[in-house]
Chain A
């Protein structure tokens, strides 16, 4: 344990002193045609079977909008009944466009068919954050309160496995030495993406760390992000009150600034992408090493979501907004320096 703590501390020092050079690109955000009736975009996931169709998780209307070229269809809606949603928080799309929804307000994980018909549910206990689904339909959810980072469930809610070593809060943030227990769950909150080979990518929400596991839970790689600006972001994690230029969340009774807001997998480029807390988008290699940073022109806004379509086009949305935006790298060939 002490060796692990030392390793994390050393990697932090390394990151601060030797931040690696990663090429940066500017990008414009172009509004996509507005979706009628959408309230607040929480997550967007593209269909696996229909090109250019996507599912938009809306926490304002408690529904999923299936947006297709021919029109939009609403799935869910406010309520407790099977097939209804209340404060849906996360969405993963599996084979055959099955929807796996963290139905937060109803404290359950629901599985719906592509038409919205109810297929199953199981309790979301202890409260999870982060969800991914593999090609077999097994569900990976972040449940650090169980003592492991990730729990694996089948579609019936049967727990199949658990894996992933938790980070020690004090190893990341020495000021938490006296509060290890209180911060244990909060610091280990993650976002999850499953790649085309069913590897599980795990991004820590409150630390600049990304891990890659195979589907059996074997750790393949762990990367601490070495990027310009990351130290300001990590310095803001425990700042109280959280700085308004970043988004913070209070999931476990503690308000903490987010370092990584989202991780998604680009199936065309076969690489994971991150949305960082400073609104930059980072493209990672298959080993989790940052290869490219995209810095969108935000005009004072904050970004909340990240999605990639089957053609590799990146989409995002602003915090507390209903508008989906296409990320267009202004001069793809021209690298910029800050």
Chain B
């Protein structure tokens, strides 16, 4: 008789392992699908494009509640780490200019990496339009087809279609887009301010110091080097460098004639970028950023330079009257001839 001895059964490790692996894989896949659910549910995954229909989407962030696709002209700017400050400041200026039907516009500033610091402080100081951090609403954006990709400027028309989308814009472009799309409150005729000329009174400019917290314009004869905002990259690269390379000679000449030298930058430029640049170039002259349009140098509304040059040098006398106005190039070559 052959008996079968019962032995305690051991779990078949080899048979269980594949099952566990399959289970783990399914779980991981399910987790992945769940995490990407917005993408799967989204009807369109392409980046925003011209003519695309927009589903109204309301974002709530603290006390702010804004709707994209509001049925008005949505003007959406995206600021990544403060590099859109110049444009958002100009949007604020356009909104405050009173030239456009305010109720027709729904401005929104979406901000990426909105961390506490000088950038956020300056943004709060300059703009009062609704500011919404992107990260907190990323899931909602994807679900509703707002794939901004690297698009930083978006106009959505009252028919809820993308009317314009671009990865970059300058203030002048925003002005052109407003003129093209947004209804105006008054006649479209733009009065062009007159450029400063010798004998004019130096206009009052609201100035904020850039490189010396307590610096102030002391009055009396002065040489003003005014940098326009038409090309911020040019100011930050070549124009400031050119100034720095001639600063010693310029200060020497000013010292001989008993005048002070002041640098004034257009309010369209970024305070932080300018401060960084002036420090980098070891600029010693007192520098300011304008608080608004620089009368007689840039257009009141368009901010276009009123002369051919984007950088002008103005000398004023003790009575605060303009003695000379020159382009930077002309001033330097005249200075070279004198030397």
Supposing A60-B172, A105-B166, A300-B332 touch, asked if A241 and B177 sit within 8 A by C-beta, the answer is no
Q: Which residues of B contact A62 (CB under 8 A)?
A: 173, 176
Complex CA–CA separation, A244 to B50 (angstroms): 38
> How far is A202 from B230 in the complex, measured between Cα atoms in Å?
32
**Closest Cβ–Cβ distance, residue A215 to chain B (whole Å):** 34
- CB of A81 within 8 A of chain B? yes
Is B242 a contact partner of A244 (Cβ separation < 8 A)?
Answer: yes
- Whether B164 is near chain A, meaning CB under 8 Å from some CB there, is yes
Prevailing SS type, chain A contact patch: loop
Band of interface residues on A: 20 to 34
Q: How far is the CB of B42 from chain A (nearest CB, A)?
A: 22
Question: What's the Cα separation between A244 and B231 when bound, in Å?
Answer: 15
Q: Are A320 and B333 in contact (CB under 8 A)?
A: no
| B269 close to chain A: CB less than 8 A | no
Asked if residues B234 and A320 are in contact (CB atoms below 8 Å), the reply is: yes
Cα distance A61–B172 when bound, in Å?
9
Query: Which of B173, B241, B329 touches A300 (beta carbons < 8 Å)?
Result: B329
Structural contact, A244 and B238, CB atoms closer than 8 A? yes
**Are A79 and B238 neighbours in the complex by a CB distance under 8 Å?**
no
Instruction: For A105, give its contact among B168, B231, B234, B241 (CB under 8 Å).
Output: B168
**CB pair A320 B180 closer than 8 Å:** no
Nearest to B231 among chain A residues (CB) is A320
Secondary structure dominating the interface of B: helix
Contact A241 B237 (CB under 8 A): yes
Q: Which residue of B lies closest to A105 (CB)?
A: B166
Q: Chain B residues near A60 (CB, 8 Å)?
A: 172
**Does B180 contact A78, Cβ atoms closer than 8 Å?**
yes
- Complex Cα gap A54–B281 (Å): 42
Query: Would you list which residues of chain B between 149 and 174 have a CB under 8 Å from chain A?
Result: 164-168, 172-173
A244 adjacent to B245 (CB under 8 Å): yes
Is A86 an interface position by the 8 A CB rule? yes
Instruction: Give Cα distance in the complex from A270 to B240, angstroms.
Output: 42
CB-based contact B164/A80 at 8 Å: yes
B121 located at the interface, meaning its Cβ lies under 8 Å from any Cβ of chain A in the complex = no
* Chain B minimum-CB-distance residue to A323: B308
Q: Is B74 an interface residue (CB 8 A)?
A: no
What residue in chain A is nearest B240 (Cβ atoms)? A244
Please name all residues of chain A whose beta carbon is closer than 8 Å to the beta carbon of B167 when the two chains form the complex. 105
Q: Once bound together, how far apart are the Cα atoms of A81 and B172, in whole Å? A: 19
Shortest beta-carbon distance, B275 to chain A, in Å?
A: 17
Chain B, residues 31-54, CB within 8 Å of chain A (1/0): the string is 000000000000000000111000
Closest 6 CB pairs of A and B: A80-B50, A300-B329, A244-B238, A78-B176, A244-B242, A244-B241
**Contacts beyond the supplied A80-B50, A244-B237: 9 A-B pairs with Cβ under 8 Å:** A77-B180, A78-B173, A78-B177, A79-B180, A81-B50, A242-B237, A299-B329, A301-B329, A320-B230
